[in-house]
Structure 1
Amino acid sequence: MTTASPPLPAPAPRTTYGQVLAEPRFRLLFLTRTIGITADSLRITTFSALVYSGTGSALLSALAFGAGFLPQLLGSLLFGSLADRFPPRALIAGGYLLEGTAAALLALVRMPVAAGLAVVAVLALATPAFGGASARLVARWLSGDAYVLGRSLNSMASSGAQLFGLTLGGAAVAAVGPRAALAAGAVMHLLCAAAVRLRLPRLAAEPEAGGGGAMRTSLRGTGALLRHRPVRRLLFAQWLPSAFVAGAEGLIIAYAGSHGFPSGSYAVLMAALPVGMLLGDLLVGRRLRPATRERMVVPLIALMGLPLAGFAADPGRPLSAALLLLSGSGFAYGLGLQREFLAALPEQGQGQAFGLLGSGNMTFQGLGPAFFGTIGAFTGTGWAMALAGLGALLTATWILTWRRTDPGEPTHPTPEP
């Protein structure tokens, strides 16, 4: 017989961003993560430019741009348990060290394109373990509304750092060339590794539940998470909306070109989404109470999709930018799911769960542009972007349905023996 799911604890009183940043351990993780994402974006841009300058191939340049995304899901499946099996300080510092080493290799060693792509792909396989360990520490050190705002700060920093890193990458390539720009990114990663190693407290790894190697434990843990309906629902609730919007985002350049917009105007449209994300997170995180954020999940996902539906009418430049800005602001829906997601996770293995969340998100965001780009070849870019918006609206409807008709399951996955 199915038992009723224990109710979530009542939302904690509203916290401020200043109170969250007052926690020195979180502040260190936040600052190093912001610098690290900037360096990642710098590496992505400059490596893609390096490949294009050496080969003249748009395809190889695109592969260089995306090589660090899709392998992350495989890395989470095979190595995600390392986020809980190793001491977090060593794992996080080692992750920055590995990223810095990879960037230095790309900058200093003249290797074949295939070898460079392999370096980036191997790094992507290990990324979920590093990110999962960091997210596990945030969940340990922040609680209640402070945890939600901590995730909000990380989301805003991620958007801002990606935007800044991509812009910096273009400027650096033009000023000093791609190899020197890659070397600068390597230095940034190495500084992050040193800061974590010297300033983050030394913590022990979690006690292991059951035996087995890293791959077996990772596969078993991922299976347990995905078989548990509340966790599975919350994972897809966070993966799907961003995948649909990423699908539309991947068509912005083609939309601008097919509609005769002036050269370079696509950059304004590309920037509108992350700017909207920053504004949405800031507004929802600062102005809304915890319970209100959780009630706003479905309306905010609808806000992601509705503006994209407007591209079926082929809007001009100003209206297109406004629609993308509105769509980006809906990304703040994730703040309303953080407390519920954390409550659904098992006591052990949270690092792997956070790694799976991040790697799945990157993978779905990589698949979205490919899927809707294919549709756009037949329907035109405007209609394809509108269909991506429809996908987000259908996701909002699905979430609304299961929130109203929850069958009531145990909060945490049952670990396998």
Structure 2
Amino acid sequence: MTTEATSRLTAPLRNVEYRVLWAAEAVSSAGDQLAKVALSILVYHRTGSALWAAVVYALTFLPALAGGLGLSFLADRYPRRAVLSASAAAQAVLVGLMSLPGMPLAALCLLLVAVQLAASPANAAQNAITREVFTDDHLYLRSQDLRGITTNTVQLLGLAGGGLLVTAVGTSWALAIDAVSFAVASVIVRVWVHDRPAAGGEHSTWFSATRWVFGQRKLRVLIALSWLVGLAVVPEGLAAPLAQQLNAPSAAVGWLLAADPLGFVAGAYLLSKFASAAVRQRLLGVLATTSLALLALFLLQPNLVVALVLLALAGAMGAYIITVTATFSTWVPNELRGGAGGLYRTGLRVAQGIGVALGGVVAQATGSAVTAIALAGLAGVALAIPTAFSWTRVRHAVAAGA
């Protein structure tokens, strides 16, 4: 039973450790948004090539995939505060080097790869520490709600003003700001987060968590629910052609990109305020299916306003992923939580990358972004329904103690 105090969205912020972890993530996320815009502008101005700009942007994702599988176990093998602080410090140095004027493009790419590799153990350590901070499941779920809302709000602010800020201060200064954000995160984590012993120690190896996770049916079903997000993000990769097909002004590209995170923030807030953890777990299959069914409604050839409403509602339903992530972390033993979290995060990002790529292929083949989004929704519903039934069986088995 939750008290009124623990049911409030901001209740986790009363914990000093979480407050520091939350602030560190928010600051570094804001810096990252600024850096992504700055890198795209910097590379395009130097090369005049949209392809090179896209390649460098892709480098902000690809190394994180390898690092998620290969380096996340470090958050189990070594003390997590040390891993998080050291990773943030390394990122501060690397991004600081990137900010130096005249840095050769090849060196810039190598530094970017190193930054993303360093992010993997940091993310794994942050997620695992947060679960250690809160022994109360309800407070932990609230903490993840707050993280999700913060991350998507930062994304919205980045969409709204990132380009303007980079234009105002210049690309080198924007990267320098990102470096400072990592340095701040490293220091405050070192000072205010408790130093706990390594959860797994020398028994933690590269793929020990991966082998354990895939041996657990309940965790495989949660991973399957998370992978459905790969189809839900298809509209994000098709925002520009979608705006053109809807005969909308160029500014509508930003509106279409902002609709999903805006809906996500609203959905996360409403779930946090009105639904208990048990209710949210029961609703996982329904919310996942509904988020994709809303995209399938693009078959009706909506106008811009209806399209924005559908995307915002799909984003609100998509807030189910917070409960999936929190449940996954809770069901993994502490000594494996870093490596398992890296596996989960990697799978989620791979699913999103594949989904966006396939959406682009279908849009190119059919000549219609609207059709591609609708087909992604239909395919998602076809996958979500059996996954939802599997989740119901798993949830009942866990409740029965099986």
TM-score, structure 1 as length reference: 0.88
Instruction: Output aligned runs, 1:74-93, within 5 Å.
Output: 74-93=66-85
Map 1:344-363 to 2 at 5 A.
Answer: 344-363=331-350
1:4 matched to which residue of 2? none
Aligned counterpart, 2:105: 113
Alignment counterpart, residue 130 of structure 1, candidates 122, 142, 154: 122
Does residue 299 in structure 1 map to residue 299 in structure 2? no
Change (3 A) 1:166 1:103: farther
1:18 aligns with 2:10: yes
Measured against aligned partners, the alpha-carbon deviations of 1:313-350 in whole angstroms (never above 9, x if no partner) come to 33221111111110100122124434542343134211
Task: State the shift of 1:92 in Å.
Answer: 1.2
Q: Which has the higher helix share?
A: 2
1:178 matched to which residue of 2?
A: 171
Distance 1:204 1:54 in 2: 47
Secondary structure of residue in 2 paired with 1:136: helix
Q: Which residue number corresponds to residue 388 of structure 2?
A: 400
- The Cα shift of 1:46 comes to 0.7
Change (3 A) 1:383 1:71: same
Shift in Å, 1:394: 2.6
- Per-residue deviation, 1:12: 5.9
CA contact (8 A) 1:42 1:185 kept: yes
The answer on 1:381 being equivalent to 2:369 is yes
Conserved in 2, the CA contact under 8 Å of 1:221 and 1:349?
Answer: yes
- Structure 2 gap ranges (5+): none
One-letter amino acid matched to 1:226: F
Following the alignment from structure 1 to structure 2, what is the Cα–Cα distance between the partners of residues 51 and 79? 28
d(CA) in 1 for partners of 2:103 and 2:10? 46
* CA pair 114-369 structure 1, distance change in 2 beyond 3 A: farther
Alignment partners' CA distance in 2, 1:182 and 1:156: 24
Question: Does the 8 A contact of 1:268 with 1:321 survive in 2?
Answer: yes
Identical counterparts, % of pairs:
28
Q: Which amino acid in structure 2 is aligned with residue 46 of structure 1?
A: A
Task: Give distance in 2, aligned partners of 1:403 and 1:173.
Answer: 45
Aligned counterpart, 1:314: 301
Q: Could you list the runs of 5+ residues in structure 1 that have no partner in the other structure? A: 1-10, 212-216, 412-417
Structural RMSD (CA): 2.2
- Where 1:17 maps in the other structure, the secondary structure is coil
Distance 1:315 1:114 in 2: 44
Q: Name 1:219's counterpart in structure 2.
A: 207
Aligned partner of 2:146 in structure 1 is: 153
Q: Does structure 2 conserve the Cα–Cα contact (< 8 Å) formed by 1:255 and 1:382?
A: yes
1:230 paired residue number: 218
- Residues in 2 aligned to 1:263 and 1:197: alpha-carbon distance in whole angstroms: 45
For 2:110 and 2:386, locate their aligned partners in 1 and report how far apart those are by CA, in whole Å: 38
Q: Which residue of 1 aligns with 2:272?
A: 285
Is 195-204 or 50-59 further displaced after alignment? 195-204
Closer, same or farther: CA 338–219 of 1 in aligned 2, 3 Å: closer
Q: Which amino acid aligns with 1:329?
A: A
Write the distance in 1 (CA, Å) between the matches of 2:10 and 2:382: 36
**CA 1:166–1:190 in 2, change beyond 3 Å: closer, same or farther?**
farther
1:169 to 162, 168, 191: 162
1:334-345 mapped onto 2 (5 Å cutoff): 334-338=321-325, 340-345=327-332
Q: 1:196 pairs with 189, 199, 202, which one?
A: 189
Alignment of 1:240-259 (within 5 A): 240-259=227-246
